Amino acid sequence: MGLPPEALAAGFVAATPAELTQLVALRRQVIGDALTWDDARYLGWRYDLGSPGRGGGECWVVKRGDEVLAMLGSERIRVRHQGRAVDGLSVMDIAVRPEFDGVGLGVWMAMHLCERVDCVLAIGSNANSRALVTRVFERLPDRRSYAHLFEFGPTLSRRWHSGVRAPVVGALAGWGMALWRGSVALTRTRSLRIEPLARFDAGIDALVSASRSGAEIAVDRDAHFQNWRLMENPRSAYTVWAAREGAELVGWIAVRAKASEDGKQVMVIEDMLARADDRGAAVLTALLCRCFKQARALGCERITVIACHPQNERVLRRLGFFAHRADAETLSVRCRDDVLNAAIAAGVPWHLTGANTDRDD
């Protein structure tokens, strides 16, 4: 690269609008044809780019003169366990110019960023970032991918590599699952009102507090974050359903529909929250029943969700979601806070949803 260590450190800076064109070009080199969105608009939404608070964090770049050689995105987070908060970052969007691939520039950026805060999360990974995540971070138990099928035939055909048994078995399985969904819907709490939510407000604070059991590690959220992440996102349009008892907000779920690689319509659950008790489980059940109805109206083949929360996962399994392996759903951390490190080492579970990631495709 032709940069001595002191010049490399001096060139590691937060991106500004002056670097935006180069950032888009770099990401197009790395992502290729999969980059189908307005990336300049997306980067301007996700990152501050010289205007503090405009986005969710900083996009860090390594520069040689005016050239951008690499980038690493970060989102400001506050990690909370048993009432104690630790400020940190969640890293994403690693990209290095192809001619510098393999020289360790990505690892250097991640290590340099880890020295600036007490806790850094890497939520998810792909072929470009997996080696970096392995070298820099401590691997935690993976998040889990779940799917609820409306049409079993296509999935069975892919797994059995045969079209003979799949249609018959798929039809029977679909009929049985439909009966199960119907029986769950009949037993859900009738005092709940499920309605669309246009914006989050400060009224969510009480629910967020009630959603913490104390026996978990969570990332703080507030109305500003929820609106930024779900309502103002330029890459994905989300529908948010709110559950209310009277005027009280007792839960929400955020979903989007997309076309899968095989051309089928899929509903993705990006975020969901309810109280950390039996009442919360009933609320999540009612919200998921509403999603079933919406997904069927949209002609979706299945609903998918990435979960990392014991209560949420218990409800998902009860409603017929099954877990399946997905290599990208890793969770890794690098933490310098002794108290939080002790909780992590003890295996305290995390509470994360898709809203804590940058997955918006």
* Full residue range of the structural domain in which residue 263 is found: 144-326
Assess whether 203 and 155 both reside in one domain: yes
Assess whether 104 and 175 both reside in one domain: no
The domain spanning residue 217 has which CATH number?
3.40.630.30
Assess whether 121 and 152 both reside in one domain: no
Nearest Cα residue to 241 out of 278, 285, 281? 285
At 181 the three-state DSSP class reads helix
Assess whether 164 and 39 both reside in one domain: no
Assess whether 136 and 179 both reside in one domain: no
Assess whether 24 and 161 both reside in one domain: no
Stated pTM of the model: 0.89
Residue 332 lies in a domain: no
Domain end, chosen from 140, 163, 197, is at 140
Domain end, chosen from 82, 109, 140, is at 140
Residue 64 lies in a domain: yes
Assess whether 189 and 156 both reside in one domain: yes
Residue 307 lies in a domain: yes
Assess whether 152 and 127 both reside in one domain: no
Residue 313 lies in a domain: yes
Q: How far apart are alpha carbons 286 and 194 in whole angstroms?
A: 8
Residue 334 lies in a domain: no
Residue 343: its H or E element: helix 338-345
Residue-wise pLDDT tens for the chain (361 aa)?
677 888 899 999 999 999 999 999 999 999 998 899 999 999 999 999 999 999 999 999 999 999 999 999 999 999 999 989 999 999 999 999 999 988 899 999 999 999 999 999 999 988 778 889 999 999 999 999 999 998 766 665 566 555 556 565 556 566 566 666 766 665 667 789 999 999 999 999 999 999 988 889 999 999 999 999 999 999 999 999 999 999 999 999 999 999 887 788 999 999 999 998 889 999 999 999 999 999 999 999 999 999 999 889 999 999 999 998 777 789 999 999 999 999 999 999 999 999 999 887 6
Q: How far is CA 265 from CA 108, 149, 225, 347, in A?
A: 40, 12, 28, 37
Number of domains, the chain = 2
Assess whether 48 and 131 both reside in one domain: yes
Assess whether 43 and 183 both reside in one domain: no
Residue 186 lies in a domain: yes
Assess whether 215 and 151 both reside in one domain: yes
